[in-house]
DNA sequence: CAACACCAATTGG
DNA sequence: CCAATTGGTGTTG
């Protein structure tokens, strides 16, 4: 199940979870100070764009994003968005790019509230294997496979 | 503020 | 294969 949340400025969260209740809980934790209002219809348009992107990774959804986070996180997330579908970076590469440390990269990825929209699943370990994923390695592997596949397809 | 714990890593022994 | 190290962040005193 999927939860899409937005602020006045844009999409601020895209989470996976077991149930609606579990998702709301995640959301509440991530934005403790926010006043949450439910909107089952207004976000439908954005949501459908997100879903379309999942099926066609190369069509990156151009949604307004409202990314809340530290400077470091924003740098990383911006860097992640530069990674084209079907490609991957290692924690080490990103660390070098941001003049930081792999462990810090991982930590920042793990706190990315924008599942899919910030392609944190394109980050892999230095030996080329998948390491971890907030919403399950299964999902990470599936996403990467889908993207790699879409890359081969002639458009 | 400082101290501490928590990790989706990496490197060296 | 294990352990030591490392850095950003949230929590706690």
What is the total residue count of chain A? Answer: 155
Distance A61 CA to C5 C1' (A): 39
Cα A93 from Cα A126, distance rounded (Å): 8
Confidence at residue A130, expressed as pLDDT on a 0 to 100 scale: 94
Distance A45 CA to C13 C1' (A): 47
The CA radius of gyration of chain A, in Å to the nearest whole number, is: 15
Residue for token pair 């199940």: A1
Distance A111 CA to C10 C1' (A): 11
The region, left, alpha or beta by phi > 0 then psi within -120 to 50, assigned to residue A86 is left
Q: pLDDT below 50 — which residues of chain A?
A: none
Question: A88 CB contacts (<8 Å, ≥6 apart)?
Answer: A122, A123, A124, A144
Scanning every strand, the nucleotide with its C1' closest to A101's CA turns out to be C7
Q: Alpha carbon A20 to chain centroid distance? A: 19
Nucleotides on chain B that have an atom closer than 7 A to a protein CB are 6-11
Active-site residue, A12 included: no
Confidence at residue A52, expressed as pLDDT on a 0 to 100 scale: 83
Token pair listed for A136: 């399950």
Cα A155 from Cα A149, distance rounded (Å): 12
Token pair listed for A116: 């899919």
Q: Which of A120, A123, A124, A144 is catalytic?
A: A120
């Amino acid at each position: 199940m999927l939860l899409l949340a937005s602020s006045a400025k844009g999409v601020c969260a895209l989470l996976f979870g077991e149930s609606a209740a579990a998702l709301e809980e995640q959301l509440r934790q991530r934005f403790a100070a926010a006043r949450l209002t439910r909107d089952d219809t207004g976000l439908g348009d954005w949501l459908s764009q997100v879903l379309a992107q999942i099926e066609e990774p190369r069509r990156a959804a151009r949604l307004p994003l409202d990314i809340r986070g530290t400077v470091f996180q924003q740098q990383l997330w911006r860097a992640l968005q530069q990674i084209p579908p079907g490609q991957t970076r290692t924690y080490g590469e990103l660390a070098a790019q941001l003049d930081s440390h792999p462990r810090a990269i991982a930590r920042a990825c793990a706190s990315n509230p924008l599942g899919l929209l910030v392609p944190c699943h394109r980050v892999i370990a230095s030996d080329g294997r998948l390491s971890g994923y907030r919403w399950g390695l299964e999902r990470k592997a599936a996403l990467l496979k889908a993207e790699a596949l879409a890359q081969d397809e002639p458009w």
